[in-house]
Structure 1
Amino acid sequence: MNPLLSALRAAVGAANVLTEGDLSAYELDWRRRSHGKALAVVRPGTTEEVAAVVRACAAAGTPIVPQGGNTGMVVGSTPDASGREVVLSLTRMNRIRSVDPDNLTLTVDAGCVLQNVQQAAEDAGLFFPLSLAAEGSCTIGGNLATNAGGTQVVRYGNARELCLGLEVVTAQGEVWQGLSGLRKDNTGYDLRDLFIGSEGTLGVITGATLKLHPQPAATLTAWAAVPSMDAALTLLGLAHRHLGAGLTGFEVMGRFALSLVPRHFPQQRVPFLQESAYGVLLENSDQESEPHARALFEKLLEAAMEDGCVTDAVVAENISQARALWHIRESIPLAQAQEGLNIKHDISIPVSRIPAFCAETDALLQREIAGVRLVNFGHLGDGNLHYNVQAPEGGDMQAFLRDQEERVNALVFEQVRRFDGSISAEHGIGTLKAAKLPHHKSPVALGMMRALKKALDPQGILNPGRVLPLAD
């Protein structure tokens, strides 16, 4: 009998230590690029049980892979192939702990599904704005561990800006309670921000106090046809001036990216698909009234058409139409997956430089790789593009991925460096980009990161090989 497995069963109950059967839900990453092998999948139900699991693994020197909904894009929450790593699944920890309407906060377990967090806020007459395509299955702990972004960052910020406090189990199995929900607390280093975005490499997030907002009086959605990325940038500037803080979403989608949606989901109709190089999805959240919101939207679109940066536009008349427009945007990744294997990039560029980046990088890739297809879409409002590269039509997609992925990544990431951008905007580093990080972070930054990792996790048992490569 393995003494560690015995200790884990004593900590969480034998039924919650999985070692046999089909464990692919925990061992296979969302993009199905990596299928690891866990020593065990452990499913604690409380923070105290998480702490006991970490203490047992620390005593045995066994690495731990914290996991939420396993919807990550960079292979950061699934085990490697060694069979030595324990997957620490937090999905049983799914309680809404408390709602404080006066403090505009909500405290939850880390395993709460994002959609349930949104619903709990709505039930209290309030609003939690983090919104992702995977919100029906991703968990708030994973969102915070990767500092997730989504479609409302332009107004509300990333997950980091929506969190006021954390509860964290350290690598030694101690519990840090930082759930006060204070908006002002200058008593030393900001430990909360240290753990957010660290991808489970510094501690295990078990609970969070989240920042809520008043529900908008009205939320309207519009779809605009724009002739170029430069025009989309002009429209963004007009939207900021006309809508101010009411601008809560600004998504740009290239024609080829949009064309994949009706190709694979023919029941969906994309507005102005053949008439414009890009589509822009705008959201206006108004604190006054729907007529006020609609009047502002109409003035914005009138000004944009006079400017020439918009050639046509439609404003959703009801919630059903708005959802249909957003569904097009959310269907692009699914349609791209149906189209076949592809090379994904989650990059950020200074917003003002995005048109030049796209023009140069599009031309570079098409010159270097004949027939390559570019699936470009994302959150222009905050400078985040999902700049994906699809194999030439009719080609061997497996061979394309095998032969061209490193070359494509090198070309795109060098362009990102030239334009003062980041190779990861909202998906994290995981294992896919860990080896590349030293080429895109300064030695000073990497030295501080290594020092923090060594100080907080001296045994190196928390998510080893993620973010920082093992050689470091």
Structure 2
Amino acid sequence: MQMGNSSTFLDAARELLGDRGLITDPELVEPWLTDWRGRYHGAALALASPATTDEVAALVRLAREHGVPIVPQGGNSGMCGGATPDPSGEAILLSLRRMDAVRDFDPALRRITCDAGLVLQTLHERVAEEGLRFPLTLGGKGSATVGGLVATNAGGTQVLRHGTMRALVLGLEVVTPLGEVFSDLAPLKKDNRGFDLKQLFIGSEGTLGIVTGATLALVPAVAERVVAWVGLDSLENARALLLTCQGRLRGELEGFEVLPEHCLAAVVDHLPDARRPLGEPQPWNALVELAVEDKDKVADAREALETVLADAFERGLIADAVIAANEGQAEDFWQLRDTIAPAEKALGPAVQHDISVPEAQMPAFLASIAPEIERDYPGTKAVGFGHLGDGNIHFHVLAPPEAAPAWVEEEGKEISAQVYERVTEWGGSISAEHGIGQAKLGELARLADPARLDLLRRIKAALDPDGLLNPGKLVTPTP
């Protein structure tokens, strides 16, 4: 690697990519320099948009020759600043959005191979034409790309049945930090040629390689979903209901979300036409979804869920429940769940934590951490909601009324440090599905097991010896 001036690099990059593939106009680059939450803002030499994998590989080799850092970016919808460059302006942003082709689609085998820049919503629409679906969705599906989903090992509300991206990726194509193309797109069920290298890149946040293509698993489209809203006295009862549903509705149980009364009240106040699904407020609410793929089995699924809920009522696990009468009502139930974040944002400043603990310990963990935070930081309100079935809870701490603007950066950071310490003590993770990025870089270095950190650093140094691929994200350099 030889350090060169930026103009020499940009001239060579423009010759490689053409005017469409290299944007240097500051006004055009500016929108991509800030993360989705607006918390991180950086600078960049340019925005590169290669059209092929070969162009990506050539650009990486060129950047390495000139010592230019590369920040890969998908839909720029991440939650931890993992695709935002630092303020130095020395890096180049690498966008895969021009690479959005479907390379191969085999409906009979239920798999699709596509470019990394394909937008999730477009993927959904394409496979739906053949009566199939890609069983992962999230709020940013209109901008999130396949490459970004792979790089962050995205999850969502369907993990309970189908798993995270790790379970859905059958093959990968990756450009390494040395500019080599690693192609492992063939969906082999048996392959014992050593390490499963594709898994190394899934969840690596663009620090080990640039995902340029993926082969993904598909499942049959949903003929109809059966959705219930359930009121409960406690999170412990919600956990017991989940276990019952998993035992008796395993084949079709796809979602099991929980939210406390505080979250539901905030949503009802926030949405003009929102209505409570149940007559009386309950301390906790569960949103249960069955995804039925066979139209002839919809009635049986509804009856099975009714039976489970009736039995749970008799056992004292639930206080009340209602099953959506139609798709419109089911969508209304999900809108209540999906509007929690904006509804709580309207209440004022807060610090959010995307955390996980072993599923069986989730009720006890929340019962411990919420009162601890509210005691140590008077005036705050601590609430947890999210994916009970996979141990992932979104734990938000709302600022006291009329808190100063600096609250998030001062007391809020102290609260987050305490939350992450407790999560670590409980054997959990400080990042369940959003990644580390730059937001949690310091906390991972502070709290992670030394052996884990050492392995992360060794792998990073081995694959990216010059440290040019997405620097300052996920893992800190060896001290």
- When normalised by structure 1's length, the TM-score is 0.96
Offset at residue 168 of structure 1 (A): 0.4
Q: Is residue 2:23 matched to residue 1:18?
A: yes
Which residue of the partner structure matches residue 241 of structure 1? 247
Q: 1:262 Cα shift?
A: 2.3
Give 2:355's aligned amino acid: I
Counterpart position of 2:3: none
Is the CA contact (8 Å cut-off) linking 1:117 and 1:128 kept in structure 2?
Answer: yes
Paired residues of 2:23 and 2:48 also in contact (CA < 8 A): yes
Post-superposition Cα deviations, 1:303-344, rounded to whole Å, max 9, x if no partner, equal 111122211111112211111111111111222233333211
Which residue of structure 2 lines up, in the alignment, with residue 413 of structure 1? 420
Counterpart code for 1:265: L
Runs (5+) with no aligned partner, structure 1? none
Q: Among 364, 373, 380, which residue is 1:356 paired with? A: 364
Query: 2:40 is matched with which residue?
Result: 34
C-alpha distance after superposition, 1:361-381 (max 9, x if no partner) = 011011011111223211001
Asked if 1:303 is matched to 2:311, the reply is yes
Partners of 1:265 and 1:286 in 2: CA distance: 29
1:392 aligns with 2:400: yes
SS of equivalent residue, structure 1 residue 263: helix
Task: Name which of 58, 66, 72 aligns with 2:64.
Answer: 58
Counterpart in 2 of 1:194?
200
Q: Does residue 377 of structure 1 match 2:390? A: no
Most deviating of 260-269 and 82-91: 260-269
Give the direction of change, closer, same or farther, for the CA distance of 1:273–1:413 in structure 2 (3 Å limit): farther
- In 1, Cα distance between the equivalents of 2:76 and 2:44? 14
Change (3 A) 1:281 1:458: same
- In structure 2, runs of 5+ residues without a counterpart are 1-5
Q: Secondary structure at the match of 1:235?
A: helix
In structure 2, how many angstroms separate the alpha carbons of the residues matched to 1:92 and 1:226?
A: 48
Q: Greater shift after overlay, 200-209 or 110-119?
A: 110-119
CA deviation map 1:385-421 (0-9, x unaligned): 010111112322x221122122101211121122111
- Decide whether the 8 Å contact of 2:260 with 2:285 is kept in 1: yes
Per the alignment, in what secondary structure is the counterpart of residue 339 of structure 1?
Answer: coil
Among 8, 11, 27, the alignment partner of 2:13 is 8
1:106 counterpart = 2:112: yes
Moved more, 294-303 or 113-122: 113-122
Residue 203, structure 1, aligned to residue 209, structure 2: yes
Picking from 392, 406, 409, the partner of 1:402 is 409
Residue number among 136, 143, 146 corresponding to 2:149 in the alignment: 143
Whether the aligned pair in 2 keeps the contact of 1:76 and 1:430 (CA below 8 Å) is yes
Inter-CA distance 190–2: structure 2 relative to 1 (3 Å threshold)? same
Q: Is the 8 A contact 1:12 1:49 kept in 2?
A: yes
Q: Hey, which bits of structure 1, 4+ residues long, moved more than 4 A?
A: none
CA contact (8 A) 1:286 1:292 kept: no
Q: What's the Cα RMSD here?
A: 1.5
C-alpha displacement of 1:189: 1.0
Counterpart position of 1:328: 336
Please say if residues 258 and 273 of structure 1, whose CA atoms lie closer than 8 Å, have aligned partners that are also in contact: no
CA distance in 2, matches of 1:27, 1:213: 36
CA contact (8 A) 2:457 2:477 kept: no
**CA distance in structure 2 between the partners assigned to 1:275 and 1:54 by the alignment:** 56
The corresponding residue for 2:438 is 431
For residue 133 of structure 1, what is the aligned residue in structure 2? 139
What aligned pairs does 1:278-297 form with structure 2 within 5 A after superposition?
Answer: 278-288=284-294, 289-297=297-305
Provide the rounded CA distance (Å) in 2 between the counterparts of 1:119 and 1:95. Answer: 14
- Supply the distance in 1 between the matched residues of 2:348 and 2:116 (Cα, whole angstroms): 33
* Matched letter for residue 405 of structure 1: G
> Does the 8 A contact of 1:255 with 1:273 survive in 2?
no
Cα deviation digits, residues 134-155 of structure 1 (max 9, x gap): 1121111111101011000001
Secondary structure at the aligned position of 1:353 is classed as helix
Q: Deviations over 1:418-472 (max 9, x none)?
A: 2111101100000111111123322222111111111111110001110112464
For residues 445-464 of structure 1, what are the structure 2 equivalents within 5 Å? Answer: 445-464=452-471
Normalized against structure 2, the TM-score is what?
0.95
Match of 2:229 in 1: 223
- Whether the 8 Å CA contact 1:37–1:83 is kept in 2: the answer is yes
Task: Look up the SS of the partner of 1:385 in the other structure.
Answer: strand
CA distance in 1, matches of 2:388, 2:278: 19
The alpha-carbon distance between structure 1 residues 274 and 78, as it changes in their structure 2 partners (threshold 3 A), is: farther
Shift of 1:287: 4.3
Task: Give the C-alpha shift of residue 22 in structure 1.
Answer: 4.6
Q: 2:119–2:144: 8 Å Cα contact kept in structure 1?
A: yes
Q: 1:23 to 1:269 in 2, by over 3 A?
A: farther
Question: Of the candidates 312, 318, 339, which is equivalent to residue 326 of structure 2?
Answer: 318
Q: Which residue of 2 aligns with 1:81?
A: 87
| Separation (CA, whole Å) in 1 of partners of 2:406 and 2:231 | 36
Give me the whole-angstrom Cα distance separating, in 2, the residues matched to 1:69 and 1:336: 25
Does structure 2 conserve the Cα–Cα contact (< 8 Å) formed by 1:68 and 1:141? yes
Q: Is the 8 A contact 1:96 1:120 kept in 2?
A: no
More displaced, 212-221 or 166-175? 212-221
The separation in 1 between residues aligned to 2:292 and 2:412, in whole angstroms, is 44
* Structure 2 residue corresponding to 1:123, chosen from 126, 129, 136: 129
**Which whole-Å CA distance do the structure 2 matches of 1:294 and 1:459 have between them?**
57
Q: Which whole-Å CA distance do the structure 2 matches of 1:66 and 1:246 have between them? A: 37
